Amino acid sequence: MSQDTGGPDPSFEDRLKAARSKQGLDAPPKSSLSDQDGVGGSAWGIGARVGVELVSALVVAVAIGYGLDRLFHTTPILTAVFVPLGGAAGVANVWRLFAPKKSDKG
Amino acid sequence: MAAEGSNSIDALGQFQLHPALGAIGGSVNFTQSNLMMVVAGLLVMALLWVGMKPRAMVPGRLQAAAELGYETIMSMCVDTIGPEGRKFFPLVFTLFFFILFGNLLGVFPYFFTFTSHIMVTLALSLFVFILVTVVAIKEHGLHFFSYFVPQGIPKALAPLMVAIEVISYLSRIISLSVRLFANMMAGHVMLEVFGSFIVMLGGLGLLGYFPAALSLGVNTILIGFELLVATLQAYVFAILTCIYLHDAVHLH
């Protein structure tokens, strides 16, 4: 209970901080800042996140390609063009998830 | 709902919509999903109104919950979006608590999880997407479209990169909605499947009692897990909204 750390009168804030870090109470804010983007946290969360990002980009690309094909009557061509683009966009999404320090770009 | 006496598991029947509120609801297609949305909204307002009524210096339980919610979302907005985040606080707060209560209400028996329908989550994410785009255009004007051109790329690659960036930008709608919908639906399918196991194995007689008790245990754990997922997914939706708003306000 009584933790006299030697110093004559460490201010209340200092002692509070020391006690909090000892109890691990300061950990949550730190971790939530560091993985601000890696929302999921656990391995399962990250895995699900990556899968969703990859697939959703592909879904959008296929939808665009197919829609444009229907519009211009060029049936397989634009879909075939947009599918690799969608895959690339998915990879770009995943890269953005794990990119080092997104914030110092802007 | 469950496989009553039969040998098949009807895991998806729980997601069917039925008219609620009798004849009036039936005539305007007011389903149990809409009813749960209204209930969720009323509960959020009740939490804030009833919780904040005492205005005590030392808060009671409800007031502490309301204040905690307010402060968490406020710090999430300001930390993620920046000082401009205050403007978007009401939006993020509403989204978070609407989704959170929708998810949590779904855990109760006889209640319906409206976030387990992709139509609902897609509408929410489309709303967020359109709002983010409008905010970005309002803040930056036509300069917004430079968002799709990454800095420092060779001129020859620009068309390709722009196409990829546009697709990646549009894919937010899908990823935001599918994440919430898939998590909620998967959880409830699991609950239904193990719930059916209890009934079916319990009907087997003496041999089935042990596995039936085991699936009851699994279901108990799943309920706890579902509470975690409900909170986490509401948080994820809110913080992703914040991250998108940050991109919209700051570009790149």
pLDDT at B11 over 90: no
> Which of B147, B171, B228, B237 is best to mutate for the A interface (most A CBs within 10 A)?
B171
> Is position A75 within any domain?
yes
What is the percentage of chain B residues whose pLDDT exceeds 70? 97
The radius of gyration computed from the CA coordinates of chain A, to the nearest angstrom, equals 25
- pLDDT for B132 equals 92
Q: How far is the alpha carbon of B126 from chain A, nearest alpha carbon, in Å?
A: 13
Q: Which of the residue ranges A10-14, A31-35, B35-39 has the most confident prediction, judged by mean pLDDT?
A: B35-39
Please state which of the ranges A63-67, B140-144, B149-153 shows the lowest mean pLDDT: B149-153
A39-82 per-position pLDDT tens digit: 445 777 778 788 888 999 999 999 999 999 999 988 888 899 89
CA–CA separation, A32 vs A50, rounded Å? 19
Same domain, A23 and A64: no
Q: What's the pLDDT band for B161 if we cut at 50, 70, 90?
A: confident
Compute φ and ψ for A5, nearest 5 degrees. -90, 25
CA–CA separation, B238 vs B100, rounded Å? 10
Same domain, A90 and A101: yes
pLDDT at B2 over 80: no
- pLDDT for B3 equals 43
Q: Please judge whether B167 and A60 are an interchain contact, meaning their C-beta atoms are less than 8 angstroms apart.
A: yes
Q: A49 in helix, strand or coil?
A: helix
Average of pLDDT values for B4-24?
74
> Is position A54 within any domain?
yes
Same domain, A33 and A72: no
Of A36, A56, A86, the CB nearest to B175: A56
Same domain, A25 and A44: no
List the domain range (segments joined by +) for residue A49: 40-106
Q: What's the pLDDT band for B109 if we cut at 50, 70, 90?
A: confident
- pLDDT for B247 equals 87
Average of pLDDT values for A73-92?
89
Interface confidence (ipTM) of the complex: 0.70
> Is position A4 within any domain?
no
- pLDDT for B99 equals 93
- pLDDT for A37 equals 44
Please state which of the ranges A55-69, A90-104, B80-94, B165-179 shows the lowest mean pLDDT: A90-104
Q: Please judge whether A106 and B252 are an interchain contact, meaning their C-beta atoms are less than 8 angstroms apart.
A: yes
Q: Which residues of A touch B (CB under 8 A)?
A: 33, 36-37, 39-40, 45, 48-49, 52-53, 55-57, 59-61, 64, 82, 85-86, 88-90, 92-93, 96, 105-106
- pLDDT for B205 equals 80
Q: Which residue of A has its CA nearest to B166?
A: A89
Tell me, what DSSP letter sits at residue A46? H
* A6 vs B224, residue with greater confidence: B224
Average of pLDDT values for B221-232?
91
Of B173, B243, B250, the CB nearest to A37: B243
Same domain, A48 and A33: no
> CB of B175 within 8 A of CB of A53?
yes
pLDDT at A97 over 70: yes
Of B80, B178, B251, the CB nearest to A36: B80
CA–CA separation, A10 vs B141, rounded Å? 53
Strand ranges (E), B101-167: none
Same domain, A22 and A68: no
Place of tokens 């979302």: B73
Domain count within chain A: 2
- pLDDT for A26 equals 58
Q: B24 in helix, strand or coil?
A: helix
> Is position A33 within any domain?
yes
Same domain, A44 and A18: no
> CB of B80 within 8 A of CB of B72?
no
Q: What does the mean pLDDT of chain B come to? A: 87
Same domain, A104 and A55: yes
> Which of B160, B164, B167 is best to mutate for the A interface (most A CBs within 10 A)?
B167
Chain B residues with CB inside 8 Å of A88's CB?
A: 164
Same domain, A24 and A62: no
> Is position A22 within any domain?
yes
What is the percentage of chain B residues whose pLDDT exceeds 90? 32
Same domain, A65 and A82: yes
What is the DSSP track for B181-242? HHHHHHHHHHHHHHHHHHHHHHTT-HHHHHHHHHHHHHHHHHHHHHHHHHHHHHHHHHHHHH
> Is position A3 within any domain?
no
pLDDT at B250 over 50: yes
Give Cα B190 distance to the centre of its chain: 18
Choose among B9, B21, B36, B3: nearest CA to B107: B36
- pLDDT for B6 equals 56
Same domain, A48 and A82: yes
> Is position A24 within any domain?
yes
Query: Roughly how many angstroms between the first and final C-alpha of chain B, as a whole number?
Result: 49
A12-30 per-position pLDDT tens digit: 888 888 777 777 665 544 3
Q: How far is the alpha carbon of B86 from chain A, nearest alpha carbon, in Å?
A: 18
Give Cα B82 distance to the centre of its chain: 24
CA–CA separation, B11 vs B50, rounded Å? 38
Same domain, A63 and A73: yes
Q: How far is the alpha carbon of A63 from chain B, nearest alpha carbon, in Å?
A: 10
